[in-house]
Amino acid sequence: MANHQLITRECESIADDVWTVLDVTGLPDGVALHHITIDELIHKNERLDMLVPLADALSPTPLTLATLDLITRHSSRLGVWADTSILPEQLDEVFNAEVRAKKAKTNAKQGIASIPDTFSPDLVVFYVPAFADGRAFSHATHLRQNGYTGEIRFAGEFGIDQLAYLKRTGVDSFVLPSEVSLDTVQAALNALPTAYSGKDADELPLFRS
């Protein structure tokens, strides 16, 4: 979208991000810089890096599974987006191999569809609907501490003064309003000292004596 920009944790501006979000009902503004419909996707000659709703993977139906399969066949990479209503247990159903296998086994006994084993998102976008909503911080930390090594991105109504904390939890990139300057982002990202290595969120004590 023209009113947003993508900036990495190293304070690099990505003018033309490669990820495109599937345009669906209820898609929040700012999840990704580019939108596309399923009809436009299947008629494209090139394969795109596509974002789909994580909710479709959590509650798969024959229709959503067929749609995911179609998108996968027309994509080079697949990512997901979710808002803060997602639960850590639900994230594990997609990103934790052991939990996912157990869920698939239970679903099979009940005749319920499961997402395919090949579904392995390279990007997760957490959309924050309100400034005071801090649940996505916990979601990013949860993924990193449980071994997720793909890209984590934040979009929505988070504050510039929260960037250093997001960086510490393991967030790689941020979708920000276009009017925010790189100098402002640089200052915010360096507001806290951090030992974050790039893949695992710091395991810090809740309290210090």
Tell me the domain boundaries of the chain: 4-189
Domain at 4-189: CATH code: 3.20.20
- Checking if the pLDDT of 199 tops 60, the result is no
pLDDT, tens only, 44-78: 999 999 999 998 888 778 888 888 888 988 999 99
Beta strands of the chain (E only): which ranges?
A: 4-8, 13-14, 19-22, 34-36, 48-53, 75-83, 123-128, 151-156, 173-177
The Cα 91–Cα 67 span in angstroms is: 20
Residue 187 parent element (H or E) = helix 182-189
**Percentage, residues of the chain above pLDDT 90:** 61
CA distances from 93 to 12, 162, 169 (A): 33, 28, 21
More confident residue, 80 or 108: 80
CB within 8 A of 66, min separation 6: which ones? none
Give the mean pLDDT of the chain: 87
pTM over the 0.85 mark:
yes
